[in-house]
Amino acid sequence: MEALEAAGGADCARFVGGCVRNSLMGQSVDDIDIATRLQPSATMAALKARGLRAIPTGVDHGTVTAVAGGRPFEITTLRRDVETDGRRAVVAFTEDWAEDAARRDFRLNALYAGAAGCVFDPTGGGLSDAAQGRIIFVGDPEARIREDYLRILRFFRFFAWYGTGAPDAAGLAACERLSAGVERLSAERVSKELLKLLSACDPTPAVRAMAQAGVLARLTGGEADLSVFETLARLTPDPLLRLSVLLPDAEAAAVAARLRLSNAQRDRLLAAVDPAGDVSPTMTEPAARAALYRLGRQAFEDRLLKAAARSRADPEPLLAPMRAWTPPRLPVGGRDLAVRGVSPGPQTGRLLSAFEESWIADDFPDAGHEARLDALVAAISAGPTETR
C-alpha cells in the first residue's frame, strides 16, 4: 500500500472485497485484494520501485499480482463495464470508486478499506448487509445477473457462507427468472462455484433456495430429496459427497461429465453409487469388513454415509470400528501355489480367487492359510468324479 500511495498519492489504493467483508464479519481472511486508481503499468512501476515483485497476471483487465513475503496480493485498477454478454465483460479503467463498486456483484463485496483501516461503503448498504448477514445485489439484480450468469450461483454460495434468515426476495426472484442462464456458463466455472457452496458449514438453506428457484434441477438433471441432503450435510463436510446425494444415481456419470469434474472426482461419484444397497449401517461388522476390503475405504465410507442419510440411521457405531481396522494383504500368492505343483497360468488366478473368497467369508483369519490352500489345490487336482 505504501508503494502504491508513493506513486499515486493518498487514497489511490484500498483493500477491497472479501478481505474487508470477512474482517468485518469476524471470519478468517484467505486472499487480500487491492483496488487502485493507478493504471497497470504504473502499478508495476510502483511495486518495482520498492523492490517488490510484480507479475502481469491480467493486465488487460487491470490486474497485477504483487508478491511480498512470499504471499501474492492481487492489485486491480478501478474499472467500469463497457460491454457484457453474460459470461465475460469488456471493461474500461476509471478513477471513480463508485463506478468500480457499481460493477460488483453484492453490496457486502463492494466494501473498501484504506491502509489506516477506514472503511468505505459506496453502495450505502454493504456495512449493514455484512452486519446482518444479507446477500443483496448491487443495484438491479437482473442487470447484475445478465452481466454474468455465474452471479446466480454466487448468490446462493454467499448466502450459504454468510447469509442469515431468508434469502433476499428480490435477488431470489431474479435468480429464478434468469435460471436458464446457468446453462450458458462454462462447466469449470459452475463446478468450482457449486463445490464452494457445498463446502459451507450448513449449505442446506442455500440448496433449498436453489431448488425453489429452479436452479438446482438445471445443474443436477433431476429432483433431489433435500431431506436426505440435509441429513448427510450434518454427517460430513465433504462437498463432493454432499453433491453425490443431489444427483440421481443414474445421472452421476452424465453430471460428472457435464461439470467436467476431474477423473478422480468422477470416479469417486460413481463408486459412491450402491445399486444393490449392500452397504448399510445395520450390516454386521464381518460384512462391513468384507465390503471395505472389496470397495476400498473411500467408496465404503461414502456408501455407508449415504445409506445412513437415507435411512436416518447413525453410521458411527459401524464407522468407528471400520476406521480403526486396516484391511490385511492377501496372505498367499503365486509362489505358494508353485511349490504345490501348480504351474503359472489361469489355474493360478482361479485358485487365488477361490482362496481369497474363502478367506473373506471367514472374516480374514490370521492363521490356517496353508491348510486352506492345500484343500483348494487337492479339490481341483481331484477333478470331477466320472459317472456312467
Tens of pLDDT, residue by residue over 103-112, are 999 999 999 9
Q: What is the mean pLDDT of residues 288-296?
A: 97
pLDDT at 89: 67
Question: Given 3-state DSSP classes, what are the helix, strand and coil percentages for the chain, each rounded to the nearest 5?
Answer: 55, 10, 35
Q: Would you call 55 helix, strand, or coil by DSSP?
A: strand
Could you tell me which residue, 88 or 378, shows the higher pLDDT?
378
Copy the grid coordinates of residue 234. 450434518
The structural domains of the chain, ordered by start, are: 1-132 (3.30.460.10), 138-273 (1.10.3090.10), 276-327 (no CATH), 334-382 (no CATH)
251-284 b/e (C-beta count within 10 Å ≥ 16 → b): ebeebbebbebeeebbebbebbbbeeeebbbebe
**pLDDT tens digits for 74-83?**
999 999 877 6
What's the confidence (pLDDT) of residue 387? 38
Q: What is the pLDDT of residue 90?
A: 73
Confidence of residue 383 (pLDDT cuts 50, 70, 90): low
Which residue from 155, 103, 108, 159 is spatially nearest to 131, judged by alpha carbons? 108
pLDDT tier, 86 (very low <50, low <70, confident <90, very high otherwise): low
User: 388 pLDDT exceeds 50?
Assistant: no
Residue 222's SS3 state is: coil
Mean local confidence (pLDDT), 120-130: 97
Strand partners, 48: none
What pLDDT was estimated at residue 386? Answer: 43
Q: How far apart are CA 249 and CA 260, in angstroms?
A: 17
C-alpha–C-alpha distance, residues 168 and 114, integer Å? 29
- Once rounded to an integer, what is the mean pLDDT over residues 238-258? 92
Percent of the chain whose predicted confidence (pLDDT) is above 70: 96
pLDDT of residue 154: 97
Task: Give me the mean pLDDT over the 234-255 stretch.
Answer: 93
Helix 187-198 to helix 150-162 angle, to the nearest 10 degrees? 10
**Residue 83's beta-bridge partner residues?**
90
pLDDT in tens, 298-348: 999 999 999 999 999 999 999 999 999 999 999 999 999 999 998 889 999
- Predicted confidence (pLDDT) at residue 270 exceeds the cutoff of 80: yes
pLDDT score recorded for residue 84 = 67
Q: What is the pLDDT of residue 87?
A: 61
**Residue-level pLDDT at 385:** 45
Mean pLDDT of 187-213: 96
Q: pLDDT tens digits for 1-43?
A: 999 999 999 899 999 999 999 999 999 998 999 999 999 999 9
Torsion of CA 312, 317, 321, 323, to 10 degrees: 40
